[in-house]
Amino acid sequence: MLNPDEQKYTILMPAKNEALNLSILLPKLKGVLGGDSFEILVINDGSTDNTSEICLKNNVKEIKKKYSSGNGAAVKSGLRKVLTKNVIIMDADGQHRPEDIPKLIDKFEQGFDMIVGSRSRLHQANIFRMIANTVYNKFSSWVVGHHVEDLTSGFRVVETEKISEFIDLYPNGFSYPTTCTIAFFRSGYSVGYERIYVGKREGKSHINIIRDGVRFLLIIFKICMLYSPLKIFFPVSLIYFNIGVLYYIFTYILYGSFTNMGAVLISNSFLVFLVGLVSEQITMLLYRNTKK
């Protein structure tokens, strides 16, 4: 059981129709965290069940939204109300275990700016998510130049002030963890990982495989655009340039002359590179202004 000398952490949980899971989770949280040593804040994202009654029964603070605006929007609403130095963000669906919080905090207090609960492949919800998360992790590791163990995990411990610096960048949907992690790497903050066990949720998931599958594919491109646009634009520019040069050589050998198509391809390569360069500068300004 944790016994901090002062209240340094708020447990922030976005919840939409998770009354069944909250009725089990909230008492467990209080048992692990040592009574009132930690503030628990539930963001009721337009629930139509008895989530409010469960919060009242367990004497936890609730922010009730009049309608559902998304997981990321709920987290942003909660961050604006957090008063403690640090915040622990976790799901309310029962997949994140209170028992893992102490080891996340222990790792965090070693001096990291953020610790993310890392899931193993065996603990993914289904084969679709396992494949998608594997792709995200490998791609994002290449983009940021650091090993990313779990890009999309919503279980994390972080300094409130630092995660709030990028609050305007976070999307309202389920991809806020991705944006948060990339923003931290982009700003030079330290990100660590701690292995967690993810349980099976009770009730129906709010993620739609087809709808969110398309959105998650777009995350791959968003990762690059958030971190370093040139990582996408420069390879594309290089491909255009090489194809243009090869096409020039091919037409000269075959027809003894150059063609307009080769010139267009080479010109496009320079245009794509310049667009990437401008995007890189805009990204730098975006993060600088956000941190201000």
pLDDT tens column, 200-227: 655 555 555 556 556 666 766 777 777 7
pTM (2 decimals)? 0.77
Write down which residue in 227, 254, 283 finishes a domain. Answer: 227
Looking at the fold, whether 148 and 176 belong to one and the same domain comes out as yes
Whether 268 and 182 share a structural domain: no
- Mean pLDDT for 258-279 is 88
Q: Which residues contact 92 (CB under 8 A, 6 or more apart)?
A: 13, 14, 15, 18, 21, 22, 25, 42
Residues 256 and 119 in one domain: no
Mean pLDDT of 261-274: 91
**Whole-number average pLDDT of the chain:** 83
Residue 171 included in any domain: yes
Helices (H) and strands (E) in the chain, counts: 10, 7
Report yes or no on 103 lying in a domain: yes
Q: Among 70-84, 177-191, 222-236, 239-253, which is the least confidently predicted range?
A: 222-236
| Any domain includes 102 | yes
Query: What whole-number distance in Å separates Cα of residue 246 and Cα of residue 100?
Result: 56
The rounded distance, in Å, linking the Cα atoms of 9 and 159 is 9
Of 154, 87, 149, the closest CA to residue 118 belongs to 149
Please name the residue that has the structure tokens 């194809």. 243
User: Mean pLDDT across the stretch 122-146?
Assistant: 72
pLDDT band at 1 (very low <50, low <70, confident <90, very high): very low
Which CATH number characterizes residue 28's domain? 3.90.550.10
Buried residues in 111-125 as b, exposed as e (16+ CB within 10 A)? ebbbbbbbbeeeebe
- 57 found inside a domain: yes
Please give the residue range of the domain that contains residue 218: 9-227
- Residues 85, 201 within the same domain: yes
Q: Are 59 and 189 within one domain?
A: yes
Give yes or no: residues 161 and 217 share one domain: yes
Query: Of the candidates 141, 104, 140, 139, which has an alpha carbon nearest to the alpha carbon of residue 119?
Result: 104
158 — pLDDT class (breaks 50, 70, 90): very high
Whether residue 257 is predicted with pLDDT greater than 80 in this model: the reply is: no
Q: How confident is the model at residue 23, as a pLDDT? A: 93
Query: 33: which 2 tokens?
Result: 């965290």
Amino acid letter, residue 228: S
The more confidently predicted of residues 72 and 199 is 72
Domain assignment present for residue 63? The answer is yes
Note the pLDDT of residue 35.
Answer: 56
pLDDT band at residue 3 using 50, 70 and 90 as cut-offs? very low
Report the pLDDT value the prediction gives residue 240, as an integer from 0 to 100: 92
149 versus 144: the higher-pLDDT residue is 149
Residue 4 covered by a domain: no
pLDDT of the residue at 281: 84
* pLDDT at residue number 290: 60
Query: Which of 227, 246, 266 finishes a domain?
Result: 227
Whether residues 33 and 150 fall in one domain: yes
Q: Which two tokens stand for residue 31?
A: 């048992």
Beta bridge partners of 83: none
Query: Do 212 and 236 belong to one domain?
Result: no
- Strand residue runs (E) in 46-98: 61-65, 86-89
Q: Domain for residue 30, yes or no?
A: yes
Same domain, 207 and 254: no
Asked if residue 41 is part of any domain, the answer here is yes
Reply yes or no on whether the pLDDT at 88 is more than 50: yes
Residues 216 and 246 in one domain: no
Based on the structure, what is the number of domains in the chain?
2
Asked if residue 19 has pLDDT above 60, the reply is: yes
Q: What is the mean pLDDT of residues 68-74?
A: 91
Residues 127 and 266 reside in one and the same domain: no
Say whether both 91 and 215 belong to one domain: yes
Please tell me the distance from the alpha carbon of residue 22 to that of residue 51, in angstroms, as a whole number: 8
- Which residue, of 177, 195, 227, is where some domain finishes? 227
Task: Provide mean pLDDT across the span 61-84.
Answer: 92
